[in-house]
A and B are shown apart, each in its own frame.
Chain A
């Protein structure tokens, strides 16, 4: 860290000393708790923990406060101060807190955001706290350090919130009534059918109802993953060859499909300036007929329009047939981490343990309809709820384990982390430009591949990694990948 660290320690030391003195004077009345689910402050003196989170989905602020109130009641002596940040500012805000010597004890950081925190040494290993009881909450093998997604260098560093497939699945939702009004009694199953249905719904909609919304470039990502290895829309690299492959003909066709639909008006007008919530609010309002939704959108759609005739299927495949599946790169997405600089690791673990408890997972599932990381709290409901059931079916039938270079080798992680630092190498900006300006994508894809080749060449030249770290020549994208073989 920096020169700021001593100031932080001294401030914390002062706080601890002050609290200790207060305890000595008999002001700290709360000792350890007898509650089975609670522990309380390990030192016996009051402890205030700071947790930095993102208050989403809507209603999460109140939910988290109520949950932490319950935690505090079960753990006398521990109070939780919540710091909320908008999702796009969370990482910067946490970094500033660390820099100012005011790091949160627990923070939310997902996916590449977690890697950013870990690479800076700001995440504390949770290995010393893990118990058999903790491990037993998750499906057998899902906390294997090689595939959990929560481990780094063999040690547990993060706690999950959602079911592993929840945030990775590629759902395609549609409004049955709108499709039916245009003469379609089933969802499109191929890209060609998407185009046909979208055009018909738009024509029948008379300028008020449109065929589809593209979710910026996310729609292309979700559709293309049914045709090409996930790493191509993800990082521009084909993991079978280890080569840049944005100009892959199926990848290009996925972009061209969206470009054509935008040009003929089948995509809802104004999608270019939408924020993250507009797709599900407009879908719920009946403004368009279908889109590639994120899983948490379903509950929001139902809240906004309980009567909507909602259909949920897997993402349509290329006209030439399925070429790949939605990837399972890890068992869980990391979410909650403990700060490496916390002065109260035992108390912080109590909070993390609570956030990974059946009680919390059940409450979150019941409040938001999200399939949480502990399957036992929701699996009995799946068959009774048609939305959950359909979603579960999509996850079970359209997702397969894939090779993950980040977990497979240090060199693989080096390449993908370096690629994540170069967002301009991703296809999304070029794809959106093609769609918005109605320009050919193929030349842009070829140019991107050239830039990626240069980028990879620089990494290989540095000796940090080789093409073998990102080449899985034996992988068949239509079969589950077995890392052990």
Chain B
């Protein structure tokens, strides 16, 4: 065997180890991510209640029903609103807090960081149940406090009114996810070279100008990634809504994941409609992809800056 062949064999052995080490992850990804996705595409062409093998082929009928269902589009609009709130409110608010907490002279900043991050690691169902109790119009702590200080004359029906339920759940969702956005921003802030800031300070730039003209441009590529992550996370909000309102009252907080859950698992259904639920999942996935692609200019900008 010549030297070249030996090198190739050694390289193959090296690669083999890489593939072997990757194998568990690939198997898990294939079994628990890829297969369910592909299977749900297949099932969406059947009128299937989830029991046995799907046999009743209905073609695109489930998709047609999803696309013409006002309930689906209402749920999609609510999911989209969750994402808008995350991007338009949570993202800039988290940046402001991150800048504040990134200040080395701020006393107890780690305590504040911890306090803001604790909701992230708290079980969502527990958060939901606790807030349902806190917001209750009958003896709920929030309403009791509002009444005690005279801010309201009558309890606010936070989760029982079609006008306040969705904003209430969105506010809790924002609070719950705020810590993770904060951590993203704090990481992004570490990427801003200190000498750049010092140079700007020497040039007489004020704090606002430093943020606008130095920090934001440097962090922009990372900000785009944060925005995409936040957008995806918020669009898929499920557990908090299910725990707090289950989509009610009268579907005023229904989001696409609770819509899908209802058709697949609701005990009110004599026979669950897994095929239809899968079709709703596929349509939701495609719409999410389309919305993500709408952000392509931002992604191109990020690529250009990175280059």
Contacts and interface: CB of A to CB of B under 8 A. Distances in A.
Interface of A: 1-3, 87-92, 95, 98-99, 112-113, 115-116, 120, 207, 268-273, 282, 287, 417, 420-421, 423, 429, 432-433, 436-437
Interface centre among B159, B165, B250 (most CB of A within 10 A): B250
Interface string B246-287: 001111000000000000011111111000000000000000
Given A120-B51, A436-B162, 17 more contacts: A2-B53, A89-B267, A116-B270, A207-B154, A270-B136, A270-B137, A270-B155, A271-B160, A272-B249, A273-B159, A273-B249, A282-B138, A417-B270, A432-B249, A433-B250, A436-B161, A437-B162
B267 A272 contact: no
A120 B250 CA distance: 32
Nearest to A282: B138
Interface in B37-87: 50-53
Given A273-B245, A433-B250, A436-B162, A3 B51 contact: no
Contacts of A113: 267
A95 B245 CA distance: 26
A269 B162 contact: no
Contacts of A91: 267
B132 interface: yes
Nearest to A210: B138
A296 to B, nearest CB: 18
Contact of B161 (A115, A272, A417, A433): A272
Interface of B: 50-53, 132, 136-138, 154-155, 157, 159-162, 165, 244-245, 248-251, 265-272
B250 A436 contact: yes
Contacts of A3: 53
Interface centre among B51, B53, B154 (most CB of A within 10 A): B51
A115 B138 contact: no
Contact of A437 (B159, B250, B266, B271): B250
B157 A270 contact: yes
Nearest to A86: B267
Contact of A269 (B50, B157, B248, B270): B157
Given A95-B51, A268-B138, A436-B162, A115 B270 contact: yes
Contacts of B138: 268-270, 282, 287
Nearest to A271: B160
Contacts of B137: 269-270
Contacts of B50: 95, 99
Contact of B267 (A2, A87, A417): A87
Nearest to A113: B267
Given A270-B137, A273-B132, A433-B250, A89 B157 contact: no
A68 to B, nearest CB: 25
A183 to B, nearest CB: 24
Nearest to A95: B51
Contacts of A89: 265, 267
29 contacts: A90-B267, A91-B267, A95-B51, A98-B51, A99-B51, A112-B270, A120-B51, A207-B154, A268-B138, A269-B137, A269-B138, A269-B154, A269-B155, A270-B137, A270-B138, A272-B157, A272-B159, A272-B160, A272-B161, A272-B249, A273-B165, A273-B244, A273-B249, A421-B271, A423-B269, A429-B251, A432-B250, A433-B250, A436-B160
B131 to A, nearest CB: 11
A417 B245 CA distance: 29
**Top 7 A-B pairs, shortest CB-CB distance:** A272-B160, A420-B270, A272-B249, A270-B137, A269-B137, A273-B159, A421-B270
A98 B249 CA distance: 34
Contacts of A1: 52
Given A270-B159, A271-B160, A273-B245, A88 B267 contact: yes
A56 to B, nearest CB: 13
A448 B157 CA distance: 29
B134 to A, nearest CB: 12
A162 B145 CA distance: 45
Nearest to B253: A273
Nearest to A96: B50
Contacts of A432: 249-250
A71 to B, nearest CB: 28
B193 to A, nearest CB: 51
B166 to A, nearest CB: 13
A78 B51 CA distance: 30
A432 B250 CA distance: 7
Nearest to B244: A273
Contacts of A268: 138
Contacts of B251: 429
A420 B268 CA distance: 8
B155 A207 contact: yes
Contacts of B269: 421, 423
Contacts of B162: 436-437
Interface centre among B50, B138, B161 (most CB of A within 10 A): B138
B267 A273 contact: no
Interface centre among B159, B160, B266, B270 (most CB of A within 10 A): B270
B230 to A, nearest CB: 27
Contacts of A269: 137-138, 154-155, 157, 160
Contacts of A99: 50-51
A120 B272 CA distance: 13
B242 to A, nearest CB: 11
A282 B132 CA distance: 15
A268 B154 CA distance: 12
A121 to B, nearest CB: 10
A402 to B, nearest CB: 21
Nearest to B71: A424
A275 to B, nearest CB: 9
B267 A423 contact: no
Contacts of A437: 162, 250
Contacts of B248: 272-273
A191 B247 CA distance: 31
Contacts of A88: 267
Contacts of B136: 270
Contacts of B165: 273
A270 B244 CA distance: 13
Interface centre among A87, A268, A429, A437 (most CB of B within 10 A): A437
Contacts of B51: 2, 95, 98-99, 120
Nearest to B268: A423
B303 to A, nearest CB: 45
Contacts of B249: 272-273, 432, 436
A429 B250 contact: yes
A92 B160 contact: no
Contacts of A420: 270
Contacts of A436: 160-162, 249-250
Nearest to B273: A421
